Amino acid sequence: MTKIQIYDTTMRDGTQAEGITLSLQDKLSLAQRLDSLGFDFIEGGFPASNEKDTAFFQKIHDVTLNHTKICAFGMTRRKGKSAKDDSGILALLNAETEYITIVGKSSAFQVEEVIRSSRKENLEMIADTIAFFVENGRKVLYDAEHFFDGWKTDSSYSIQTLQVAVEAGAETITLCDTNGGSMPIEVYEAVRQVLQNVNGRVGIHTHNDCGVAVANAVSAVEAGATHVQGTINGFGERCGNADLIQICAILALKKQGYEVLCPDSISQLTSLSRYVYEMVNVPISKRQPFVGKSAFAHKGGMHVSGINRVSSAYEHIDPVKVGNERRILVSELSGHSNIVAMANRHNINQDERLQQKILEEVVRRENIGYQYEIAEGSFNILVRQVSQTFKPHFEKLHYHVGIESEQDGAMVSEGTVKIRVNGEIRHEVAEGEGPVDALNNAMRKALLPYFPCLKEMRLIDYKVRVINSEAATAAVVRVLIESYDGKDSWGTVGVNENIIEASWQALVDSIEYKLNKDMENR
């Protein structure tokens, strides 16, 4: 087995993505999570760039890591300065990490046209910087920025920069497709040429501007690279970096002869992916390979019938291997196979006549606008209602929503709910950011004394779609709500001409699903 080092740069490259930020505590927590899975390196950031990164390198020394090595990231010394007199270099040294990652120019064009230096001086900058850190007891990883672009126009100089880095003491030289414009065959050929001319471990760092970052990274490994850099979920500048979730899954499950992370870590990739999505407050990508909610979702009746017989008929791996799960979607395209699969999943013993009743009810409701393929919570309740096994935890009596505009222009929403729980009537009022939020807050006030588990639950997505736009203001709308309780997420649906009523339906289903789920798991 060939050990492939996995180097995570989510904390630096990942946070260069639009809309992605990590707090200091986020970074410390993520470091511990990655360490527990066996990531070999974590790039903590650039100590000289901001106070948060400086604080991270101070705090991380107090955190026990059993596997991962923390890397401080920085650039080669500046033109005309010695390494010992460069403030950026000294900041890296003061981070007191065992490993330091240095990025340098490996493209003649970048050297001459961007940093306005000579080829000779650039080589000296690389050599001086790496040698300085080695002399001070640090281990150095060299990131060859713009390597592939440089290799295409002047391969001899690009390779010379790598040779200089190795001679100065770099343990690993990582080839960077900085602009994300290279193709897998180009990456493969370049890595093979580098291995023929440079003694040392070769790594790969790719960007996704052409949508082939993962393919490029895998091609590099197949060519002989044994160190892979990327980010969790592919977060990164522009179109992102190579997704380490996909790369680790491919090398562990689709290729032979490679060892990545700890032995049982591949089965935790789905939870890791979603953990990071939650941390940065970004909606989970449902179609993300291996770990997305739609990665093993089946809708067509023929597909479901096939996987019921042989799961590999329509799945390239067992979803359990990456910690994911098979999902059977229900819609007007569904056949008996979908209904049977969903019923079995919910431990409901169905006969054929009841299966047909459920299918007919799904088709009827979808004809008026319901959609169950992304509303499993509502489908669960529908199955229970049709099979007469549904027992509501509360009775809806009345709700009201008011919206007022204050003098400063602010909009205030107030929701009132009246429900019966355990024979008692609860009448509660709450404000919210909007009418649905106000109703949700009022419902929680009414139900929390009876069901404390609702503290864990929150709404994470809310979508409204007009179904028959030709009806103008009388059009029917479909509301989809996604909820999360720290462990699972589920969708619910409501349909009505009144957007508040549709939202109310979806909200009630969401709460009932949570309560039923927790009761079953006791």
**Alpha helices by DSSP H, 232-351:** 244-249, 269-280, 301-309, 336-345
Pairing of strands 489-496, 477-484: antiparallel
Q: What is the pLDDT of residue 370?
A: 87
Same domain, 213 and 332: no
Q: What is the span of the domain harbouring residue 302?
A: 297-367
- CB 71, CB 101: distance < 8 Å: yes
Looking at the structure, tell me whether residues 346 and 253 fall in a common domain: no
Q: Report yes or no on whether pTM surpasses 0.85.
A: no
pLDDT in tens, the chain (522 residues): 999 999 999 999 999 999 999 999 899 999 999 999 999 999 999 997 788 999 999 999 999 999 999 999 999 999 888 999 999 999 999 999 999 999 999 999 999 999 999 999 999 999 999 999 999 999 999 999 999 999 999 999 999 999 999 999 999 999 999 999 999 999 999 999 999 999 999 999 999 999 999 999 999 999 999 999 999 999 999 999 999 999 999 999 999 999 999 989 999 999 999 889 878 878 788 899 999 988 988 765 544 454 555 555 668 899 999 999 877 666 544 555 556 655 555 555 556 777 778 878 887 888 888 878 678 899 889 988 888 888 899 999 999 999 887 767 778 899 999 999 999 999 999 998 888 899 999 999 999 999 999 999 988 888 888 877 665 656 789 898 989 888 888 889 999 999 999 999 999 999 999 999 888 877
Q: Is residue 520 part of a domain?
A: no
CA 459, 463, 467, 468 dihedral sign is positive
Question: Does any domain span residue 433?
Answer: yes
CATH of the domain at 439: 3.30.160.740
Is 191 inside any structural domain?
Answer: yes
Per the document, the length of the chain is 522
CA distance 417 to 317: 47
Tell me, yes or no, whether 136 and 180 share the same domain. Answer: yes
48 and 184 part of one domain: yes
Query: Is 503 inside any structural domain?
Result: no
Number of domains in the chain: 3
Angstrom CA distances, 294 to 219, 287, 299, 327, 335, stand at 26, 5, 10, 8, 19
Shared domain for 44 and 130, answered yes or no, is yes
DSSP assignments along 175-227, one per residue: EEETTS---HHHHHHHHHHHHHH--SEEEEEEB-TTS-HHHHHHHHHHHT--E
Q: What is the pLDDT of residue 304?
A: 47
Q: Which of 450, 469, 487 is the last residue of a domain?
A: 450
Both tokens of residue 244?
Answer: 């380490």
pLDDT at 471: 59
The verdict on residue 309 lying in a domain is yes
Return the exposure string of 153-172: e unless at least 16 CB atoms fall within 10 Å of the residue's CB, then b.
eeeebbbbbbbbbbebbbbb
DSSP letter at 354 equals H
Q: Are residues 174 and 314 in the same domain?
A: no
Closest CA to 490 of 512, 520, 522: 512
287 lies in some domain:
no
> How many other CB atoms are found less than 10 A from the CB of residue 437?
17
Do 143 and 215 have their domain in common?
A: yes
Q: Pinpoint the alpha helices (H) of 97-146.
A: 108-109, 119-135
Q: Is residue 65 located within the same domain as residue 133? A: yes
Q: Within 10 A of 110 (CB to CB), how many other CB atoms are there? A: 19
**Residue 182: its pLDDT value, please?**
98
Whether residue 302 sits in one domain with residue 276? no
Residue 465's CB is within 10 A of a number of other CB atoms, namely 13
Give the other-Cβ count within 10 Å of 58's Cβ: 14
pLDDT value at residue 15: 95
Nearest to 69 by CA among 44, 94, 95, 102: 44
Residue among 386, 381, 325 at smallest CA distance from 350:
386
Q: Which of 450, 473, 492 is the last residue of a domain?
A: 450
Residue 263's pLDDT is: 86
CATH number, domain with residue 102: 3.20.20.70
- The answer as to whether 254 is a domain residue is yes
Q: Are residue 342 and residue 246 in the same domain, yes or no?
A: no
Q: Is 376 exposed, middle or buried (0-12, 13-18, 19+ CB in 10 A)?
A: buried
Long-range contacts of 497-501 (CB under 8 A, 24+ apart): 499/464, 500/401, 500/435, 500/436, 500/439
Q: How far apart are the first and last CA of the chain?
A: 43
- Round to whole Å and give the CA distance between 57 and 208: 29
Same domain, 304 and 432: no
Tell me if 268 is assigned to some domain.
yes
Residues 249 and 105 in one domain: yes
Q: Last residue of some domain: 280, 308, 343?
A: 280
Helix (H) and strand (E) counts in the chain: 16, 18
